[in-house]
Structure formats: structure tokens, C-alpha cells
Chain A
């Protein structure tokens, strides 16, 4: 299923994402990369571009690039080249940015994800062109100084991986899904903290529109999208704007635009006419970056299981549907929570249902993460155990879950079952498995509802529901609904 057209136009989107790498020191110097220090306190002689200083490659940054390449099935270049991108700006201390131009370290690869389209869930793959290492610039601060600008070079030299896709996305929803998936991967493998507010994960979207089958339209690049919400708004606005322009008979000019969250609009920063000539050339201060197969193998050996590999394993080992497996591998913490619970209770599908249902719902509605979740995976496993062995019904289990969540009962994992059983007892939620007692209860309800009985006997099967409800109520939720149904049919049959 392909993405819907917008007013008869196909939307084409490509992404460039700057992921700040989680190294302690900068890409070419030993200064710290920690966020939020006093201006210019984390800029050393190299970052300030003092005369005589030279760059020395941070191996940790290279290893993180290798990790991304391995995670996305890319080719890791055995030899890649650093180049200088020359331009003047006050927050660019050397007057050039060290980046990779002709031969990047990571080449090709792809990002796959599921996308909800109407009723369907579609599997989508976005191809990568490349990912290259580069240094970040400093920051210009224009607000706090009258008639002057402040320059903070703390960020100068922070390692970035710029991840570039083919123009493979066909809607803002696809674009956001791609960005979320990429965000998941970089945080999963730990190469980036993913903090979008602090600028650790910044996306530029190249957007164009065309009539189906026509060549690619002229693109405009929306810079620095730092939230998924703005990403969607910005692309949607940009698509509408471009279609209006074309419909009004105007050609689209290649341009770089910024999104203003206050107005919800994009506006052009600069057009192609004033695009700079960056005079790229190989940086003579840095020899070619050589990455041996052994180095790649070493990095691979140290890498955690990747989300898609883990999802495949969940399908294989736990018999989960692919959708469940993908959802449960949205984060390492989520996957670990699932796996512990599933192993402890031996009911992987039930565990999956609970995690994607109650657990996610409660997490989304509060300031709770899996790190400080009140219902530990051990507690959840015991709760599921009690459902599976028919001690409690699903609805009763929900009451226990609510109680656990709101009371935040601390309990050692070993005592989890005791905790659950105590709660079941205290609330009197134990399922009524005594057939005699249940039959007596059913008889009472049948006697009290002759009208329903008559209707059912006359052929109205829906009348049965009018009987089940009161029986469950009379049992205080403790009756097993399946058992109630069976007994009712027997008595009425």
C-alpha cells in the first residue's frame, strides 16, 4: 500500500539527521562534551583553533559510527577521508568544519519500521545513502548582548554522525516513523543519548512534491527539526505550501527553510543563489581513516543484540506475532521487562498483551518510566501466573494491577507471589471455581430474571448477556465467565 496523494501530488521526503555521539571527549580534542557548562569552559586550545593546534581523531567516535553501520546493515568503509568544509562564521573557530565528503565511513544500509496506515500496519524500509563523521560548530548567542553576539564554543568539536537517507519517504507520517525508528536505534545501541531538546538528535527534512510518475520536484530543506511533533507539522505545512505554489503557477526555488513552532509555518533562510562554495578538500591534518575488519569484528562482538534481531528472536522463541515483537523492542528497557516477565510466568503472549495494554497505558498517562515502574516484571509475572492458573479472572487481575500501581508496593522478587496472593485475598478476588456454589448463584439469577430466560428460549441469543452480567456481579467478579456461560447454556438448553 502506497502513501495517499495530497491533492493529487506525491510527497517525497529525504532526511539528514545529526546524531551527537555519546563520547566523553570531543571528536578531535580532549575537551569534555558534557552539556550545559558555563560558556567557553569546555573549549580547549584545539577547539578554539589556536595557532599551531591540530586535530587528533577520537577512536570512540569512529567506533560509534561502526556500531551504527552494523546496526543498519551498512558497508563500513575500510578507508574513509576527512575533508574540510570551508566557510566563515564566528562560531566556526577554524573557518572550516572537518567533515567527510567524498568517502564517508558508513555507506548504504537501511532503516525498517512498521507504519499504521488506516486499518493496516505496513512494513516500510528507508534506504540510507551514507553516514559520515563530522564536528559540530559552537553556538552564537544573539539575545543577551545589545549590538553584539556572544560566542560559546563549548559545543565546537562535539562529534556528530550525519545520517543521510534516499528520498524514500512519501508522507509526514512515514518521515516521523523513520525518525522515531532511527532515534530508537541510536539510543538502543548507545551511540547517542537521543535528547532532542538539547540538540543531540536533530533532523533536516528535504521535502518536494510531484505528480505521480513525474521526475523529482525541486526540494526545500527544513532545518533543525528537534521534536517529532514539529517534524510532522513542519512537513505538512511545507507540503501544503509547495502544492499551493505550484497550483498558483509558481516554480519551487531550492531553499533552506526554518520551521517556526509559534506560527506553524516554514520560512526561507537562504536560497540556492546565495549558497556558499565550501571548497571541500581532503584535510591534510588527518590521514585517511583506516578501519580493519578486525576492528569491526571487535566492535560487533561488544555490541548488544539489535532491536530487529531481538524482535526476530521474540517471534521465534516466544511465538509472538511480529507486531508484538516490534512493539516490545521499542526500547531496551521495555524488551528486558518483557523478557523477564515472560520467562518468569511462562506465558509470553499474555505478558505481551499486558505490557502493550495496561503497562503502556499507565506509563503513557504518568511520569513513569520502566526504570521506576511500580509494578516490577516479577510482580507482573506472578499476576499473569494467577490468571493462567485460573485463580483470578482478567478483570480481577486488572484490579490487582491498579492496586499494585497506586500503592507502589515494594516487594522483593522472591516475595512477589506472596504479595500478589495477599492482594487477591485481601480484595476477595479469587475466582469462584466451586461449580456447586456457582450453580446456586445462577439459579438465583435465573429466578430473578424470568423475562430474559423467556426471550432466550424464544430464540433471542442476546438475552444471554442480560443474564451473564448479573451473575458476574453477584459473584463480585469472581466467577469464571467461560464457566458461567457453559453452565447457563446447560441449564437453559
Chain B
């Protein structure tokens, strides 16, 4: 087996080769480390070769001792929003440039316990605020926007842009991401990979640098639904002693449905009533704002689902458009408070010259935060301020509740909901970087599931304009990740879109 082939393998394939001793965990780690260190997409922010190889050696020992854990010895890279002991954690911000966490995030810890080997830390929008990975401020000496492996003149999406680019360019077989308003699903779509955001509360938020606490969720990004299911099983689980919003539901084997043989019409009996899977098609997701190339790819994918036995059901999510103003009130409000701890007193950047305390705060935060972060802190402070709270924050919370209710109404008619992840394919670097509103509007299809706390995933369904990948979004009801992953897996068993590789990643 050639090295060439190694990085094209899925986690499942790599694990089989580790089990059969075709490969060692160290071989695999070294191979991906070399690729990642030669990365031209600026996906990686930090490496620690010594730590990586030590983890690989430890994993190999477990393999040699007969441990058959499904993720044992497989590489992963972490979005730099997760705190890590062995690597710096910057959250993409100057204010944390030299920060080192004394502990690992629960998600990082769980994946390490599963035997995964950390390749490095991945670039992201500063504090996960952005849809293009252009809001990157580190290293301060030379911050570089992440580029899309399918076209280096385009953005990879964000905020988990480094994660998506690394997996698409085969610099790592898997990565962690976080999704607050679409930050896993949208870059996965833009880079032609598969990613899933679980139900809010499934994955512990302990050790995730907080952006918007009521929305932030971790999830895996990989080449296939099958790989994502393995990763999600390890990543999720209750964490009541560290995260009060962590759901008290037992860890789950999200691959269990995938393993059942299901024949040519696997979705014909996948519905909750034992009949055909009912796929809800929200008309609000297919309006004028949807680019023609994306629409065509999604339509073809929906036809494919029908071929597999699913029934398409028209549904309505009438407050889809409202999710933009609602999200851009709630998320900045929470962010403005979450980011108050970065004040130059205890850790992180502190301005050099200041006259008094207020001046220290002002200079530290002015120097430490980028424009988008400052913008959101200002919006958030405004909507929470006395006299405006009722009109903005409280009102947004009410509509958020209605958006969640709309989904419950829809799920009375269908099992899953399908639609586009984003209105267009990945745009050119710099195209929207001076227009925050244009960026916000592009989040329209991912925000509703975020606001409702529902699981959502993105899977590649073909290429659109300029041969850029198009992602289809699948949304499920609370705790229905296994079903989502199964639908995506059945689709991937019968299609090749997820196997398409950008030219540079051959």
C-alpha cells in the first residue's frame, strides 16, 4: 500500500489497516503530520510533534495489546476553539496569542481517551465569529486567511474553516469543529466534506472557548457520515460535573443503524412509523435567494433520496428569515458577556502602556480583538442595555421559541428535513470581507436549527459553479442524530460525491 493512498483512506479503512498491522499508529501520525506541516491552505495554527508521536506510540501499545476501540490510533486535528494542554489555544485571537490552557476540553479529552492522536490545532474565525475564516488574527505577525482546497482563491467557509480545509485537503482524516450558527455545516458544505452538529447539550461545552453559550455545540467533520458517526459516538456524552447545559442522556452508538443491511431501498422503511422516510422540504429554503447551481445539486440529491425509498413532503418553516435578526441579537448579546473575561488582568494580552485601569481595559481590548469581534461586542452590549433589552433581546428570545415550535409542527409531518446549507457555493476571498451584512445573510439556512438546538448535518451532493462543492443539509428532531447519519450514510453508499477530491489533495 502506497503512502499516496494512506491519506485518502477513511477512518474506518485506516482502522482496519491498523488492526491488520498493515500500518502502525506512528506511520499514520507521521504521514499526516508531514502533510499538515507542508500545508499551503493555512489550515493549521500549531503543532507539537513530540506530543503527537507520544500519543501515537501509546495508541499503538493499546492496539498491540488487542484493544479494538474503533478510533484507536487514528489522527484528528482540533479547532483552535478547544482548549488543549499540549498545544497553545488562541481562538484565532491576538488576545489569547500566548495562552496555554492547564486542561483539555472535555471533547478533546474524550477523543484522546478513545485513542485518537492529535495532529495539531486548526485555524478558525476569531472566537468562531465569521462565515469565511477571514477573521483570523493569529499569528499577529502574519495572520493568514484559510483557503479552500478546491480553489485557493476562495474562502473555505467558517468559522470551522481550518477544520474543513484540513479534511478536504487530506491533511487530517478528521477534525473537530464547533457550530454556533452553522460553523460546522457551512464550511463542510463549502469544502465538500461531511459534518454534523448534534443536539444542543449532547457534547460538553467545557473547554470550548465560549462564543454564544446557548448555541455553541461541538461536532465532528470528516469524509463520510460513517466516519462522523464513529467520531460523534466518542465525542458526545453527559458531563454534569463540568457543564450544566450538558444533556443527561447516555452515550450512544451512532453507527448502530449504519451497520444494518438495508438493500436497494434503504429509506423505504426508515420512517418513524416503519414506512418510507418522510423528508420535509421547507419551501422557505428554496426561494429566490438560492443560487441556481446549488438548487440543481440539491434537487438531484433529493431525487436520489426518493430513489432510495424516501418520500418528499412539502413543509413550512415560516420564520426562517427571522432567524437572521434573532441570531444576530442573541449570539452577540451572549458573546459580549462571554468575552468580558478577556480584560488583560489574569491571562492573555495586556496593553503595554496605559494610564489607569480604564485605559488598560480599553487599550488591551482594542489591541486584542479584531473588527468583527468588536462589532459583535458592541451589538451585544447595545441589545442588553437598559431600555433596549425588552425591544431586542427579550423579543428575540420569544421569536427563538416560535422558531423551535415551527420545527415541532414540521416534524409532525416528516422524519427529517432537507435543504441547502448555504445559498451559494464558497465565494472568493475578500468578496464579503468588507460587508458584514452580506456574511450574516448567507447564514440563513443554518441558523434555524441552531436557534432551535436541533441536530443538523451537511453532506456533499455534487459540484456547482466553478466546480465548487455543494452541501445538502439534513436536520432532525432532538436526539435523532443516528437517524440523520443513517440517511446520509445510505445516500453515500449509493453516490460518489463524498469521495470527490480537490485537485491539490490527490
Chain A positions near chain B (C-beta within 8 angstroms)? 45, 48-57, 84, 86, 88, 90, 93-96, 151, 277, 279-281, 284-287
Contacts and interface: CB of A to CB of B under 8 A. Distances in A.
Contact of A285 (B207, B245, B347): B245
Contacts of A57: 244
B241 interface: yes
B242 A54 contact: yes
Given A45-B102, A57-B244, A95 B346 contact: no
A151 B91 contact: no
A51 B345 contact: no
Interface in B57-112: 82-83, 89, 91, 96, 99, 101-103, 105
A383 B182 CA distance: 82
8 cross-chain pairs, A with B, having the tightest CB-CB distances, nearest first: A95-B340, A284-B213, A284-B214, A279-B384, A52-B207, A49-B341, A52-B83, A51-B209
A73 B332 CA distance: 41
Contacts of A285: 210, 213, 244-245
Contacts of B241: 56
B389 interface: yes
Given A151-B345, A279-B337, A279-B384, 16 more contacts: A50-B347, A51-B341, A54-B243, A54-B245, A55-B244, A56-B243, A56-B244, A57-B244, A86-B337, A88-B343, A93-B341, A94-B341, A96-B337, A96-B340, A279-B381, A285-B245
Nearest to B361: A88
A94 B342 CA distance: 8
A52 B244 contact: no
Contact of B340 (A48, A53, A88): A88
29 contacts: A45-B102, A45-B103, A49-B341, A50-B83, A51-B91, A51-B210, A51-B347, A52-B103, A52-B105, A52-B208, A52-B209, A54-B205, A54-B206, A54-B242, A55-B244, A56-B240, A56-B242, A56-B243, A56-B244, A90-B343, A93-B345, A94-B340, A95-B339, A279-B384, A280-B384, A281-B393, A284-B245, A284-B334, A285-B244
Interface string B318-348: 0000000000000001101101110101110
Contact of A86 (B82, B208, B240, B384): B384
A57 B245 CA distance: 11
B5 interface: no
B386 interface: yes
B48 interface: no
B153 interface: no
Contacts of B347: 48, 50-51
A115 B336 CA distance: 49
B385 interface: yes
Contact of B346 (A48, A52, A54): A48
Contacts of B205: 52, 54
B250 interface: no
A95 B337 contact: yes
Contacts of B83: 50-52
Contacts of A54: 205-206, 210, 242-245
Interface residues of B, number: 44
Contacts of B105: 52
B126 to A, nearest CB: 13
Contact of B206 (A53, A90, A280, A281): A53
B213 A86 contact: no
A86 B103 CA distance: 26
Contact of B99 (A51, A88, A90, A96): A51
A90 B357 contact: yes
Interface string B464-500: 0000000000000000000000000000000000000
A392 to B, nearest CB: 64
A286 B244 contact: yes
A96 B241 CA distance: 22
Given A56-B243, A277-B385, A93 B346 contact: yes
Contacts of A88: 340, 343, 361
A86 B380 CA distance: 12
B96 A51 contact: yes
